[in-house]
Structure 1
Amino acid sequence: MKEISEKKVLVLNLDHSPVGVVNVHKGFVLTYLEKATLLVKYDYLQIRSIDHVFDYPAVIRLNHYKNIPYKGVLLNRNNLFKRDKYTCQYCGSEKDLTLDHVIPKSKGGKTSWKNLITACHRCNTIKGNKTPEEAGMPLVSFPFKPNLSYFLAEYAERHATEWIPFLAIKEV
């Protein structure tokens, strides 16, 4: 089991949309000060003081709606690799990974979520300045722009299954 200090708390807005993730200490303080409501606790874990036992928060909901401007998921190398599960989108390799423009920049391809994929160095070199169709290299999966819930759900599958019912996974 994960170390208790490593557990995280999913924070939802009043409308149940994900706002972010905090550590257990911050999640507990928000609920203790009645700024948030505990929705789901981690089973078999407790926070103890000398004379009290408290639930260990897994998912909390803010008690007042917070208007948080949508910033989207940052387009960067690490997030692209995460989206593509650290595998080449041409051959499935997990070694020597790099990024590839599906439609090459020289042919008007943009640097965007829907045109960048993870590719191994070998496939990227073979594809060169062609589209996948021209190179005869079909994609394993098509690129898409993920939202925050997509990455939170990926974390939840490995570390916090209690979060899954609160994360509607949609492509943007």
Structure 2
Amino acid sequence: MRQVLLLNATYEPLTTLSMQRAVVLVIREKADVVHRDGRGAVLRSASRVVDVPSVIRLKRYVRIPFRSRIPLTRAALMRRDDYRCAYCGHRAETIDHVIPRSRGGPHAWENCVASCMQCNHRKADRLLEELGWALNVAPVVPRGAHWRLIGAGLVGDPLWAPYLAENAA
């Protein structure tokens, strides 16, 4: 089922929803089409023609309760680290705990990094100090509303990129 990105009235990404639900919001004039489908598809009825949306924006602001932490998922962590190994900079394939879980390290944003297979196996169950290694970039919790969508695995359409950018207005 085709998904549509839903933006708040302030252009803050909220969630994704089905194309059918998005079209209903547009027809009932609760949302505007911000970006049409890349193929230029339209839906036709006896009295109306509606562009198939890729991104819609609510006309009224919806207050969303603050969520303290963005969920840690493999896709979000890889995206945060730009699919690069935190140790050597090559393409990352796995997730590594900086302080191994067997040594009391938490499964949290601040302790997880993307890693290539070679570095992950070489590091194994040791601390960075034991190997003389250093991280290229310190792992941090991502910030911004778009990370909630990335963390939930809801990002897929390349047309959404400008609306999910960290500095989107």
Pair in the same fold by TM > 0.5: yes
Which 10-residue stretch deviates more, 36-45 or 69-78?
69-78
**Deviation of 1:40 (Å):** 2.2
Secondary structure of the residue that 1:114 maps to in structure 2?
A: helix
Please provide the CA RMSD for this pair: 3.2
Cross-structure match for 2:35: 40
Cross-structure match for 2:70: 73
- Asked whether 1:137 is paired with 2:133, we answer yes
Q: Distance in 2 between matches of 1:87 and 1:36?
A: 38
Q: Distance in 2 between matches of 1:144 and 1:18?
A: 21
Q: Which amino acid aligns with 1:41?
A: R
**Deviation of 1:123 (Å):** 2.2
Q: Distance in 1 between matches of 2:122 and 2:71?
A: 29
Q: Could you report, residue by residue, the CA deviation over 1:62-99 in whole angstroms, capped at 9, with x for unpaired residues?
A: 1222221233431134533444455543342555x3x3
Query: Which among 13, 25, 29 is matched to residue 24 of structure 2?
Result: 29
Cross-structure match for 1:119: 115
Cα 1:26/1:81, change in 2 over 3 Å = same
Query: What is the 5 A alignment of 1:9-20?
Result: 9-20=4-15
Q: Runs of 5+ in structure 1 lacking a partner?
A: none
Superposition TM-score, scaled by structure 1 size:
0.70
Q: Distance in 1 between matches of 2:161 and 2:78?
A: 22
Cα 1:164/1:78, change in 2 over 3 Å = closer
Query: % of aligned pairs identical?
Result: 35
Cα 1:39/1:120, change in 2 over 3 Å = closer
Cα 1:94/1:169, change in 2 over 3 Å = same
**Deviation of 1:48 (Å):** 2.0
Higher relative contact order (CA 8 A, sep 6+): 2
Cross-structure match for 2:158: 160
Cα 1:16/1:112, change in 2 over 3 Å = same
Q: Distance in 2 between matches of 1:86 and 1:168?
A: 17
Query: What is the 5 A alignment of 1:43-122?
Result: 43=38, 44-71=40-67, 72-86=69-83, 88-91=85-88, 92-94=90-92, 97=94, 99-104=95-100, 109-122=105-118
Cα 1:87/1:53, change in 2 over 3 Å = same
Q: Which amino acid aligns with 1:29?
A: V
Q: Which amino acid aligns with 1:160?
A: P
Q: Runs of 5+ in structure 2 lacking a partner?
A: none
